[in-house]
Structure 1
Amino acid sequence: MNELHGLRAVVTGGASGIGLATANLLAARGAQVAVLDLDPGTVQGPLRAIRADVGDDDSVRAAVEAAVTALGGLDILVNNAGIGAAGTVEDNPDSQWQQVLDINVLGIVRVTRAALPHLRRSALSRPGSTAAIVNTCSIAATAGLPQRALYSASKGAVLSLTLAMAADHVREGIRVNCVNPGTVDTPWVARLLDAADDPAAERAALNARQPHGRLVGADEVAAAIAYLASPLAGSTTGTALAVDGGMAGLRLRPPRP
């Protein structure tokens, strides 16, 4: 498939996990891709690696400009950078709330704000086509998960932000959507499992709460992002695509003994 041939994409948080899987898939489908990451040192060609801290506006603006210069423009933005947090509403101090909301929500704001002039130019230069923004949200935005109060609040904001952005920019030829992954087999989840008292039991519990019985693969989320970013989704905007093994919508009976 080469439906992204000739398009230019930026992926934030693209050095590992969902971001790296997405960057590699976009490149495999024909796009030129720049990865913005706090530590992009492991990123290899054909991806272009650019250091960026989505928590710092100056860093973001410099990185986006560097990416646009390297790529010759910008047609696709994937806002994937984010951090996690565990705990109930009692457990996380104000400083952690501020950090997570700053990265997960304001990080999207900063990167999108810097990218919008270039995405508008892309839409104007390709009559009949649209530029695309895809935000990485989470099942935590739509389902109550235990021990995820702060993280869920941040991703609920991402979902609402996605809808508002879609309304603001649809008439400029810019589509905005998000993906809502379930629990994905990423380095962050691996660290949570390693920190658990019984990692094997914790993994089994995470597998079991998703109706298809396993963790979601990063490549599966990347495929959803690539679709939403592509011209094949030209009439899709303001949507949240769940990639969660049925967790958001299915209510299965307990398995028979």
Structure 2
Amino acid sequence: MREGRLAGKTILITAAAQGIGRASALACATEGARVIATDINQPLLDQLAGEHAGIEAVRLDVRDSEAVQALAQRTPALDALFNCAGMVANGSVLDCTEADWDLSFDLNVKSMFRMTRAFMPAMLEKARTQACSVSVINMASMASSIKGFANRCAYGATKAAVIGLTKSLAADYVKQGLRANALCPGTVDTPSLRGRIAAAADPVQAEIDFIARQPMGRLASVDDITPMVVFLASDESRFVTGQTLLVDGGVTI
């Protein structure tokens, strides 16, 4: 029986109750990792933990600095941190309110700042004492950060900021054994997307439009994204840092 690609590693994933975060937790656990799955939705977290013995469910609001620090203090040094929490605010700059802008940046960017600052010191110490590589994976997007899309003002600004934050981490800590990369998916079929489709004036047309912007002619599934998460968390990506890795079905060709 082969050993999993993440055997012996501890990985924390935010927004793990649904969508890409949930699928990534299962994929990493299947590859042998101890996965700390966090979210604000405790019932869905508990369901996830019940699906694999390698997953530990921990309720966490990534917007709560004290809660983030408290979790970091009681958690063993991570091998990988996957900052997956985020939201999509629709609208142009004239549609976007200050509240929309502030919430988008707090959840999509500042949460990564909080999580990384809290967990990275122990990760760096682990890299130093065990002569190993540790990994920060930040959820970005190809939408409006790599390629412009209409009505994604706040969202695009936050995801561009995530890429900048990621490159900064990579540059600052490349000599200390920490790698940082930004994952940039295309349009993924998740509960979040289904909610936006359902809220559209014409849900049928909205789904058609989402599919139409994918050159492969379909939405991505979460299982199209998780192999890249496993790769970035594993030693296979030990020479990869500071990158924006596109998994977009050809949108940015």
Shorter chain as denominator, the TM-score bin is over 0.9
Contact 1:11–1:36 at 8 Å: present in 2 too? yes
Aligned residue in 1 for 2:226: 222
Contact 2:15–2:85 at 8 Å: present in 1 too? yes
Q: Structure 2: which 5+ runs fail to align?
A: none
CA RMSD of aligned residues (A): 1.2
Matching of residue 201 in structure 1 with residue 202 in structure 2? no
TM-score, length of structure 2 as denominator length: 0.93
Aligned residue in 1 for 2:66: 58
Matching of residue 138 in structure 1 with residue 141 in structure 2? yes
1:42 aligns to what SS in structure 2? Answer: helix
C-alpha displacement of 1:204: 1.2
Contact 2:141–2:186 at 8 Å: present in 1 too? yes
Identity of aligned residues (%): 37
CA distance in structure 1 between the partners assigned to 2:217 and 2:130 by the alignment: 43
Aligned residue in 2 for 1:81: 85
2:42 aligns to what SS in structure 1? Answer: coil
The runs of at least 4 aligned residues of structure 1 exceeding 3 Å deviation read: none
1:15 aligns to what SS in structure 2? Answer: coil
Q: Structure 1: which 5+ runs fail to align?
A: 250-257
CA distance in structure 2 between the partners assigned to 1:173 and 1:27 by the alignment: 23
CA distance in structure 2 between the partners assigned to 1:237 and 1:124 by the alignment: 17
1:49 aligns to what SS in structure 2? Answer: strand
For residues 142-153 of structure 1, the aligned pairs below 5 Å read 142-153=146-157
C-alpha displacement of 1:64: 2.7
CA distance in structure 2 between the partners assigned to 1:117 and 1:163 by the alignment: 18
Aligned residue in 1 for 2:180: 176
Contact 1:36–1:63 at 8 Å: present in 2 too? no
Aligned residue in 1 for 2:240: 236
**Alignment deviations for residues 194-248 of structure 1 (CA, whole Å, 9 cap, x no partner):** 0112212111111111111111111211111111111000000001110110101
Bigger shift: 4-13 or 51-60?
51-60
Aligned residue in 1 for 2:111: 107
Aligned residue in 1 for 2:158: 154
1:78 aligns to what SS in structure 2? Answer: strand
CA distance in structure 1 between the partners assigned to 2:217 and 2:59 by the alignment: 37
Contact 2:186–2:220 at 8 Å: present in 1 too? yes
CA distance in structure 2 between the partners assigned to 1:121 and 1:25 by the alignment: 26
Task: Indicate how the Cα distance of structure 1 residues 63 and 40 shifts in structure 2: closer, same or farther if over 3 A, else same.
Answer: farther
**Alignment deviations for residues 57-77 of structure 1 (CA, whole Å, 9 cap, x no partner):** 1011112334x1xxx431110
CA distance in structure 2 between the partners assigned to 1:205 and 1:65 by the alignment: 45
CA distance in structure 2 between the partners assigned to 1:246 and 1:126 by the alignment: 39
